[in-house]
Amino acid sequence: MSTFFLEVVTPEKVLYGSDANMIVVKGVEGELGILPNHIPMVSPLKIAPVRIKKGNTEEVLAVHGGFMEVRKDKVVILAESAEYPGDIDLERARAAKERAEKYLAKRDEFDYRRAELALQRALTRLEVAGRK
């Protein structure tokens, strides 16, 4: 089974670096499945889980925006931030979700986009942490 090297990089560190058979990401145009020898491309990413398939196993990371560069034998995700499921504090994510929902209910235009992004990050964390 062919593979490619996947690297997930944040401003602080290289979070992930390993061979993969397939990844599934959420780009701004929709969900993208990347296999070995995929056509080269660059895509902005939404705040969403990244699914990494290796053989019969699947790993998942919470990726909070950024860009993905696809090369023939390597994929690099440059993420604003990213987390493993075990690094996610569920209580903190739930509290962030509730705070964001309260701000969104107020419809305060100044904080609306910020609250919307906070809600997306919290939902992604909860989804990823729930897969442990």
pLDDT in the model for residue 111: 72
Give the total number of structural domains in the chain.
2
pLDDT in the model for residue 79: 96
Q: Which domain holds residue 56?
A: 4-83
Q: How many whole angstroms separate alpha carbon 80 and alpha carbon 86? A: 19
- Whether residue 79 is found in the same domain as residue 15: yes
Q: Mean of the per-residue pLDDT values for the chain?
A: 91
Contact residues for 48 (Cβ-Cβ < 8 A; gap 6+): 25, 26, 63, 120, 124
Contact residues for 113 (Cβ-Cβ < 8 A; gap 6+): none
CATH code of residue 107: 1.20.5
pLDDT in the model for residue 131: 65
Residue with tokens 């909860």: 126
pLDDT in the model for residue 1: 72
132 pLDDT higher than 80: no
Per-residue pLDDT reduced to its tens digit, 71-120: 989 999 999 999 999 999 999 999 999 988 888 887 766 677 888 888 88
The letter for the amino acid at 53 is K
- Whether residue 56 is found in the same domain as residue 121: no
DSSP string, the chain: ---EEEEEE-SS-EEEEEEESEEEEEETTEEEEE-TTPPPEEEEEEEEEEEEEETTEEEEEEEEEEEEEE-SSEEEEEES-EE-GGG--HHHHHHHHHHHHHHHHHT-HHHHHHHHHHHHHHHHHHHHHTT-
| Average pLDDT, integer, range 43-55 | 95
Residue with tokens 């939404």: 46
pLDDT in the model for residue 116: 85
- Whether residue 75 is found in the same domain as residue 102: no
- C-alpha dihedral over 12, 49, 58, 39, to 10 degrees? -90
CATH code of residue 23: 2.60.15.10
